[in-house]
Structure 1
Amino acid sequence: MAAQTNFIDIATIWLHAGKGGDGAVSFHREKFVAAGGPDGGDGGRGGDIIFVADDHLSTLMDFRYKRKYVAPEGGKGGASLCHGKNAENLVIKVPLGTVIKDAESGLVIADLSDHTPVTIAKGGRGGYGNAHFATPTRQIPKFAKPGMPGEDLQVTLELKLIADVGLIGFPNVGKSTLISTISAAKPKIANYHFTTLVPTLGVVSVGEGASFVCADIPGLIEGASEGVGLGHDFLRHVERCRLLLHVVDVSGSECRDPIEDFEKINEELAKFSPVLAERPQIVVGNKCDLATEEQIETFRQYVEGKGLTFVPISAATMQGVKQLPGLVYNRLKDIPQVPVFTPEYKKPEAKKNGRDFTIQRMEAHVWSVDAPWLEYILAGSNVDDYESLQFFQRQLAESGILDALVQKGVEENDTILIGEYQFDYIF
């Protein structure tokens, strides 16, 4: 039995960017140097998770068996102010044309329609070593900050093939035979429905230096837009095509009416995507060697009455096939590229109004507040200015940080660490 190629065009995976390395608690030790100060270094940054498109991949099969991807953690800080090693990024290769979506919301994060690397999950920041926290009144801080966790999220990968032209139509109308005659593609061909179970790409040459990419999409049936038959599994692959070759069996050899076939396929396209329904079409009337002149002429008049180009052919006997690539190529010159999918996804902080925080007791009377959104505000504030300080204190109160500190047992004059800043807590 011949081996069947497994084609996977959708997968859901977990991404965990690397945690930042912990800061070090260390004190300078040197002969003849008494009471050396703190010299604990910062932790390294955790690894990002980066996606990049690879021309040598054509399926998402690898993600069927491996569902969790974890980037390396940053190195821990060391003595003598040694900074921890920044972690290597985790690079994940996917086929060209892969769209990455947030699994929960379905919103687009990135469209890998070219070879530009895209960072999907950022590694955590390294923690500060104890050298950061020395003050005239606290000369031997015995604490450091841990590294921040990396971003983690569940994403859905959808492969939407990149082709200039898509062959659409009912099963067994001759699409596979057609692409095998106009390109070097070798799809499986047989006289039964759904012989083609995976999309096939073929490069069609039109003279010296001129070519276009054509995709043979498995046959659609009525109800495909709702998932009937192969449904959405393959309709998504038509979305990037600039031009559709709508192949119809004009002979009615499957005991179906060509006009009804044409209408039903277009109805399914419209239900799946109104934009797709407006995509330019050339109607290819196949199996003309089996049709009568009356059948061909009736269908021609119907198609041209809709303002569409009609090309009668017989893929089996090559009748009319040679003129088709040139006609398609010239038509493509006037059709702009299909826009990429625009990113819609926002980071979790934005969805939660940027109010997340965690509080950790570092040692007696020392507390650490981890709140990236608050550090961003603090970095843009002048704490020596009364109004700026008042605004910052309002953020602490409105976000619930002050109440949370009280609940955890903060006392008068305790030290509060926020990023690189430290404050005395005063009731």
Structure 2
Amino acid sequence: MATPQSTSQRVALIAVTGMSPAIVTETVWALAHEKPAIIPDDVYVLTTSRGAADLRRELLTPRPDLQEQTIWQALRQAILGARATKDKRLTLHDPILLTTHDTTRGQPRPLEDIRTPEDNAAAAEVILDEIRRLTANDDLRLIASLAGGRKTMSALLACAISLLGRKEDRLTHVLVNEPFDHPALEPRFYFPTPQPTLHKLQTPQGTQTVTSDQAILQLADVPFVPLSYLFREQLGRSPGRFVDLVRSATQMVTETAQPITLSYDYKTYTAYFDGVAVELMNRDIPFFEFLYHRAKEGLLPYKYHEEAEKPFVEFLAQWIPKHPDVNLTHGGGLDWAKSPPGKDDFRKRLSSLRDRMHRAGIGYLVQRIFPPHGPLGIPLGQVTFEDSPTSQPKNPKKNFQVTSQKPPKRGGS
């Protein structure tokens, strides 16, 4: 009998199953025998209509050999002991059916099996929605089992966990030694019962006899990359559909391997990141232009924010008279035209620029352009510059200087 969890965080187990609902009982039993024991509060099963019928017949039908208990009741009693009838844990919810759209009736239609690309696409959406629902609860730890169902179902579950899972979640596969995984075993094996059960298997060599206490269940953790943090921190949101989520993740991976094309329209105060417009306002305008000028001139970012205070004040002295239309007192702060900005202003402007990029749908570029922790400036190795039709500053002065040094040239003759 397992001991209760020591944490107040709820645990949910979700599994994909087909014609072998035993993977659910095997996984629960394996979790309950880990050290420390893990007993899920809720158990969810994603399956087809055929799989749901198999689950109800095998796990939820009273059996004479169990004194009219179901397999699920016997499992709960084996794990929870005498308090099983009062313990709310190990609640097996109704099967979650994988469905597709039935356009003739205008209703969802449960999938009996998954055989076509359309079936796979429909199943992916249901799986993703359930994973999204569970991972949206910060007080819930999710354990996903990919041991059952068709291989495409397992692959879709693994992909959904990678896209939406968090670092505290788990992706598992349960392994059981032969012949306990054989579908022709009589009776079928579900978990090692407290009183050993005799099982028989007909083979070409004769009848093989084993007892349930010979079963060895092992729970293998499958590593996954929790991309949900990438969506949350860099994209600012999580796309809704499975295909859009995969496309966004692919785009982010592709983008990180290529320089970002950066341009700026001085007439409309608009920055363009890979062609995506980010409109600037108020104090963000001179601050961005300052960083943009430095990067275009090949100057490295400032290692410390304090180093930028004097150069930025000198830049503003030239910039402000040419831009009387820009409000530099936005947010109730001091007027930059009268009170010199400092490092605290830089942090606020960087935060504002990041917010603008997130709202424009390119939050995934923030870490590369304006990382939360790092030097002050646009990293030269991350960008290439492209001139826009109005990419020249108003009344440019050729004698404008910024106090810093260019990076040394590599190579040479």
- TM-score, normalized by length of structure 1? 0.27
Whose strand proportion is higher, 1 or 2?
A: 1
Whose helix proportion is higher, 1 or 2?
A: 2
- TM-score, normalized by length of structure 2? 0.28
